[in-house]
């Protein structure tokens, strides 16, 4: 069965990743005192950039905000993907980083035939100089109703609890398909990966979930489902494929618990992540 939505498409070509702190100062000199004009549509990477705004920074901020939103919502049925960026402003402090304020539209990650789950989000995203894990405050409206979301999450939870044997293989398959019976595994992997992608995003790099390589389901005495995933994250603009092992514990209506380890050269503070003890900005879910 062909899924309604495949992993988000790769963005257009990007400039090489800045390699040193001197570029941050250069960026500031370009932006000093200049407020960004309204952004063009997200789907047109070739459109002229707003004066003083680094190329792609609004889309970068919108995707980071959505990674954070998806993780904090902790609901596979509430997963969102980027529609278009409508407006935004960026300001750079050479000592601290880049602050972006923006408004963007979203779509439901799993659209059913004939449904139109559009929404709008406003966000403040602060990229710290040369550091991952931007600080984010995001508010989204026109979401799936609370009761409908609870029912959908519990249905998915029941499917996961009834799995008879651990999944072995990759999702999507070589033809880009995900069988309906395996869709809950992908959705949960997408949910857990959102935390990892938010933590690793900087103003110069962003991540997409490219593939789910393996899943191990742990036996727990409690009601939560406990999975150990191996995923491949596609990083832009370097085009690197980053393998990450993610341990995820989830129960409908409860905060998501995530721990991970990625195979790459990292500084000690980036080597692994966990949701426990993280100081994060609030996420607001408003149902209209």
pLDDT at 199 over 80: yes
Residue 27, sorted as left (phi over 0), alpha (psi -120 to 50) or beta, turns out to be alpha
- Do 166 and 235 fall into the same domain? yes
- Do 190 and 118 fall into the same domain? no
Average pLDDT (203-227) is 87
Phi, psi (degrees; rounded to nearest 5) at 52: 80, 0
What Å distances lie between residue 176 and 154, 167, 192, CA to CA? 27, 17, 21
pLDDT, residue 112, reads: 61
pLDDT, residue 133, reads: 96
- Do 264 and 158 fall into the same domain? yes
- Do 168 and 252 fall into the same domain? yes
Residue 221 in domain: yes
Average pLDDT (189-195) is 96
First to last CA, the chain: 32
Q: pLDDT grade, residue 228 (50/70/90)?
A: very high
Q: Which residue has the higher pLDDT, 276 or 261?
A: 261
DSSP-assigned letters across all residues of 181-195: GGHHHHHHHHHHHHH
pLDDT, residue 46, reads: 36
CA–CA gap between residue 86 and residue 104 (Å, rounded): 5
- Do 185 and 206 fall into the same domain? yes
- Do 32 and 136 fall into the same domain? yes
- For the entire predicted model, the pTM comes to 0.74
Nearest to 278 by CA among 136, 98, 76: 136
pLDDT at 283 over 80: no
Residue 121 in domain: yes
Last residue of a domain, one of 141, 165, 188: 141
Q: pLDDT grade, residue 111 (50/70/90)?
A: low
Residue 109 in domain: yes
- Do 126 and 208 fall into the same domain? no
The string of pLDDT tens digits covering residues 240-250 is: 999 999 999 99
Residue 147 in domain: no
Average pLDDT (2-28) is 38
- Do 137 and 221 fall into the same domain? no
Last residue of a domain, one of 120, 141, 162: 141
Residue 283 in domain: no
Average pLDDT (62-88) is 94
CATH number at residue 128: 3.10.450.10
Half-sphere exposure of 124 (CA within 13 A, CB side): 9
Residue 9 in domain: no
Last residue of a domain, one of 114, 141, 168: 141
pLDDT at 70 over 70: yes
- Do 185 and 215 fall into the same domain? yes
pLDDT, residue 84, reads: 93
The string of pLDDT tens digits covering residues 126-182 is: 999 889 999 999 999 866 788 888 999 999 998 888 876 667 778 888 888 888 888
Average pLDDT (75-91) is 92
pLDDT, residue 128, reads: 93
- Do 123 and 169 fall into the same domain? no
- Do 181 and 229 fall into the same domain? yes
Q: Which domain holds residue 224?
A: 154-275
- Do 159 and 238 fall into the same domain? yes
Domain count, the chain: 2
Residue 35 in domain: yes
* Average pLDDT of the chain, as a whole number: 75
Q: How far is CA 201 from the centre of its chain?
A: 9
- Burial class from Cβ neighbours inside 10 Å (0-12, 13-18, 19+) for residue 285 reads middle
pLDDT at 196 over 60: yes
Residue 131 in domain: yes
């Amino acid at each position: 069965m062909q899924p309604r939505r495949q992993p988000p498409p790769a963005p257009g070509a990007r400039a090489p990743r800045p390699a040193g702190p001197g570029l941050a100062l250069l960026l500031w000199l370009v932006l000093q005192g200049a407020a960004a004009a309204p952004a063009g549509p997200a789907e047109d990477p070739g459109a002229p950039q707003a004066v003083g705004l680094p190329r792609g920074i609004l889309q970068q901020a919108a995707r980071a905000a959505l990674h954070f939103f998806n993780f904090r919502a902790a609901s596979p049925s509430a997963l969102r993907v980027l529609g278009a960026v409508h407006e935004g402003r960026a300001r750079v402090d050479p000592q601290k980083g880049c602050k972006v304020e923006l408004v963007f539209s979203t779509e439901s990650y799993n659209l059913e035939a004939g449904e139109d789950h559009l929404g709008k989000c406003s966000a403040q995203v602060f990229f710290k100089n040369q550091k991952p894990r931007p600080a984010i405050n995001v508010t989204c409206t026109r979401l799936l109703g609370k009761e409908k979301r609870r029912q959908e999450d519990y249905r998915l939870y029941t499917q996961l609890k009834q799995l008879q044997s651990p999944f072995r293989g990759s999702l999507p398959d070589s033809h880009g398909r995900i069988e309906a019976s395996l869709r809950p595994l992908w959705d949960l992997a997408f949910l857990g990966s959102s935390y990892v992608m938010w933590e690793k995003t900087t103003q110069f790099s962003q991540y997409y979930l490219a593939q789910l390589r393996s899943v191990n389901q742990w036996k727990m005495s409690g009601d939560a489902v406990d999975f150990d995933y191996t995923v491949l994250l596609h990083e832009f603009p370097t085009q690197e494929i980053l393998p990450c092992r993610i341990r995820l514990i989830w129960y409908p209506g409860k905060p998501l618990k995530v721990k991970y380890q990625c195979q790459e050269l990292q500084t000690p503070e980036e080597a692994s992540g966990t949701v426990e003890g993280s100081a994060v900005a609030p996420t607001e879910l408003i149902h209209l």
